Amino acid sequence: MCEHEQQRMAGAGEAVPREKWFTYDVVAEDPSTHARAGVFHTPHGDIPTPIFMPVGTKSTVKGILPATLEQMGTKILLNNLYHLSQRPGADLVERMGGVHEFMRWGGPILTDSGGFQVFSHEEFVKLSDDGIRFRAVDYDGRWQEWSPEENMAIAQKLGADITMQLDQCVGYPASRKKVERSVELSSMWADRCFAAHTREDQALFGIVQGGMHLDLRVRSIRHLEDAGDFPGYGIGGYSVGEDHDTMFESLEPLCAEHMPRNKPRYLMGVGNPTTLVRGVAAGIDMFDCVLPTRTARTGTAFSNEGRINLKNARFREDDRPLDEGCGCPSCAAGFTRAYIHHLVRQKEMLGSILISQHNIWYLLDLMRRAREAVVQGAYGEFVDAWMASPASRDW
């Protein structure tokens, strides 16, 4: 064993006693919205909710050191099961000590099922009750098969604190029949994942599907509740092409009336600031999205004036930080829009890094402030203020 394996990893939380693992405490409920504040306990630390989870697809949040993520107050990261299963492979990650040790992040990690990535190349996917047959077109292109059991085997090798069941996500618009079939398949796979999942230091979350159809969503969650004691639920199949109002039309009653109160609710793949604010009001506890880092790489920063693109010539001599009053490492160190404009125009890595830090911090901080408002019973006012502010523009 090398000396470095003894070292503290960035993000490592306080030890959580085993009996508290994967329990969820609701610590406050807002009187005028469905928002809640809570704490989800995992082996690698406690997660306060509502929370934004930065995405580290291939076991790295693009361009950001784990120490910086910790400094920004990141409490949980995502890793992508599909990508890791292709490269470097789940067996290798397992031999290297699992995802935490591999990427040197000592805090909680969540892996998705990888189904979403597989379905993004629909023409190379064949579905059956037994699972998915697909071509990994962005890797070596060979045909592979995942049964729910194989998917769980990969998830358990990776060793994240939370992993997601294999599910089928359909786009929007889609025929009711197609959505109904996706609920059926996902329900069947939930049963098999639940049975196949044995790792005690890992939580398996079920995933609610059902498109924009509230009755199918309800059917999905009912099945999951009957299937077993999932410690939390993902809500998939949103943000797949519909507008936000359409999403909230079914999402809000789903959370408010049909999801169990004592389990965390994770709205998968949704991460623009306004949808986070509205999602919390609907009763969502966890969010993830590549938006803060992906848009950063095109020069786009979140700001309280709304979205700004640093490539724009109007920032050439702008000596203000990305966002006035922002406490992120980029703004706090005094980097100006003019400097970042220069970096972005010159395709310098540091441009992406500075904006990525800022954007991640922006969402982490937004959720910290949202939580505080929920605790104070003032989340309705928080939403109203947000929706009236220029920050809610463009999203």
> Where does this chain bind its own copies (CB under 8 A)?
2, 4-5, 7, 9-10, 58-60, 62-67, 87-88, 92, 95-96, 102-104, 316-317, 319-321, 324, 329, 331-336, 338-339, 341-343, 345-346, 348-350, 352-353
Q: Which is nearer to its own copies, 193 or 343 (CB)?
A: 343
Out of 112, 161, 285, 323, which one is annotated catalytic? 112
Q: Distance (Å, rounded) from C-alpha 373 to C-alpha 313?
A: 37
Nearest distance in Å: CB 337, its own copies: 11
Nearest distance in Å: CB 334, its own copies: 4
Q: Distance (Å, rounded) from C-alpha 104 to C-alpha 11?
A: 9
Q: Which is nearer to its own copies, 13 or 56 (CB)?
A: 56
One-character DSSP codes across 142-173: -EEEE-HHHHHHHHHHHT-SEEE-------SS
Smallest CA-to-CA distance from 264 within 49, 15, 10, 11 is with: 49
Exposed/middle/buried for 15, CB within 10 Å: 0-12, 13-18, 19+?
exposed
Q: Which is nearer to its own copies, 58 or 135 (CB)?
A: 58
Nearest distance in Å: CB 388, its own copies: 25
Residue 70: what residue type?
A: E
Q: Which is nearer to its own copies, 62 or 307 (CB)?
A: 62
The H-assigned helical ranges of 259-336 are 273-282, 291-296, 329-332
Active site residue 112: yes
Query: Which tokens in the block code for residue 62?
Result: 């693009």
Helix, strand, coil percent values for the chain (each to nearest 5) = 45, 15, 40
Active site residue 323: no
The torsion region of residue 265 among left (phi > 0), alpha (psi -120 to 50) and beta comes to beta
Nearest distance in Å: CB 58, its own copies: 5
Q: Distance (Å, rounded) from C-alpha 104 to C-alpha 300?
A: 28
Query: Which tokens in the block code for residue 130?
Result: 């037994």
Nearest distance in Å: CB 263, its own copies: 33
Nearest distance in Å: CB 239, its own copies: 25
* Sheet with 24-29, side-by-side order of all strands: 24-29, 36-42, 45-49
Contact 148, 166 (CB under 8 A): yes
Q: Which is nearer to its own copies, 7 or 389 (CB)?
A: 7
Q: Which is nearer to its own copies, 58 or 244 (CB)?
A: 58
Catalytic residues: 112, 288
